Copies of this chain bind each other. A is one copy, B any other.
Amino acid sequence: MFWKSIFDEKRKEQEFASRRAQLAKQMMEDHLDAVVLFNRINIIYYAGLAHQQTERPIALVIPKEGSLMSFIPRLEADHLQEYADIEAIIYSEYPGDAHPMEVLTKALKSRGFNRLGVDADGYGSYWGYSGPRLSECLPASEIISLLPAIRKQRAIKSPWEIENLRLSTIFGNLAHQMLVEEAELGCYEIEVGQRATTRSSRIVVQSLAGIYQLQDWGVTPTHTGLKSGPQTAYPHPMAAGKQLEPGDLLVTWATADINGYRSELERTLVMGEPTDDQRYYFEVAKMAQEVAFEALGPGVLCREIDEKVQQFFRDRDCGQYVRHHTGHSFGLEIHESPFLDTGEQEMLQPGMVVSVEPGLYVPGVGGFRPSDTVLITEDGADIMTYFPRELDDLIIQ
């Protein structure tokens, strides 16, 4: 029952508690009375509380001593009660008769919290919300940003997080295989992705019947798709109505959501026999990925990875086809810091999980961007994704 333990409620609760214990050290150092988190993902990270983000602000309050508090609209109150034993500061609605930030301010003041660590200075301006910054509500308090510390903590994945990502690579691989099966000439590219997403999502839910749960509204258990043809020369194209044609280059992606964690897998495929140009740039991008795989390990500076990859591309006269850095961290978010980027100051450490995805974007030919999920280990790197990387295995006949 290896995988089942990922979903064990007790283990999850221990995980969240141990994260808060680490945050508590930072609170001690900074002499904070409490931490207030507004970011949906940080609230999941430190308390496992998932909610659908709307115009209604939500926050998690972690006091130096005593139990957690959740600042929520009435809308979320029953739901919270059902799955967590946690004190709730409940406001009626947004805009509501009193602004929600007034309710939060009053609650923080009444508890004597003066020195506060935050991940953001208020709720921003999501979906029609507007409101004062927390520092405007509490002019006499000291508000300290813990965003850098929180990001550093989130960058090092725990064994539980790595197990989640590992299961994600398995279902992501399945989703990608189904994408390849659905990629038939004449299909709209968006329907290929949707069909494979629907089929593979069903398998996830069926495999994990009774324990599988999503952390957000509107997401699906798996997500896979592709872009095809000349528009793949743009890293992030938006078109939707293209049908697959013979000779098309396909730039694909596939992932599965396990407790909110999503692995990254991307491949470049060809519909039919590749041209010489397609073969050439495919091989250069693949070799660049191997340059990065070789270089990854604990103690290496993130920027060195990107420098080596960029140098490799320049040596092959491909510098003009580069549009982005080599990779990024991820976990609960699709991109997280640190980045494999020439401007990144951080060092790779065991437990970090990064994408390795050097890409070439050749006008008139297309985009070449293999991406894999790589775990930094004590003595090197573990490439967690395993879909075939050779062009001969990526031709759709």
Contact = CB atoms under 8 A, between A and B. Distances in A.
A241 to B, nearest CB: 5
A337 interface: yes
Contacts of A75: 235-236, 323-324
Interface string A109-123: 000000000011000
B339 A94 contact: yes
B235 A128 contact: no
A329 interface: yes
Contacts of A328: 55, 128
Contacts of A215: 238
Interface stretch (A169-177, A196-204, A278-286, A374-382): A196-204
A interface, size bucket: 35 or more
A394 to B, nearest CB: 22
Contacts of A125: 39, 119-120, 147
Contacts of A220: 190, 194
Given A78-B361, A236-B52, A205 B217 contact: no
A195 B205 CA distance: 14
A239 interface: yes
A124 interface: yes
A149 interface: no
Contacts of A325: 93
B344 A241 contact: no
Contacts of A22: none
A2 interface: no
Interface stretch (A28-36, A206-214, A244-252): A206-214
B221 A238 contact: no
Contacts of A338: 128
A220 B219 CA distance: 11
Contacts of A54: 236, 335
Contact of A241 (B76, B94, B210, B345): B210
Contacts of A128: 151, 328-329, 333, 335-339
B238 A50 contact: yes
Contacts of A93: 324-325, 341-343
A233 interface: yes
A220 B213 CA distance: 22
A99 to B, nearest CB: 8
Contacts of A345: 95
A83 to B, nearest CB: 9
A341 B94 contact: yes
A227 to B, nearest CB: 10
A79 B95 CA distance: 39
A150 to B, nearest CB: 10
A236 B76 contact: yes
9 contacts: A39-B125, A74-B324, A93-B343, A95-B341, A98-B343, A128-B329, A197-B198, A213-B240, A221-B240
Interface of A: 39, 50-52, 54-55, 73-79, 82, 93-99, 119-120, 124-125, 127-128, 130, 147-148, 151, 188, 190-191, 194-195, 197-198, 201-202, 205-206, 208-218, 220-221, 223, 233-241, 323-325, 328-329, 333-339, 341-345, 361, 363
Given A51-B236, A55-B328, 7 more contacts: A73-B324, A75-B236, A75-B323, A78-B363, A97-B342, A188-B206, A217-B238
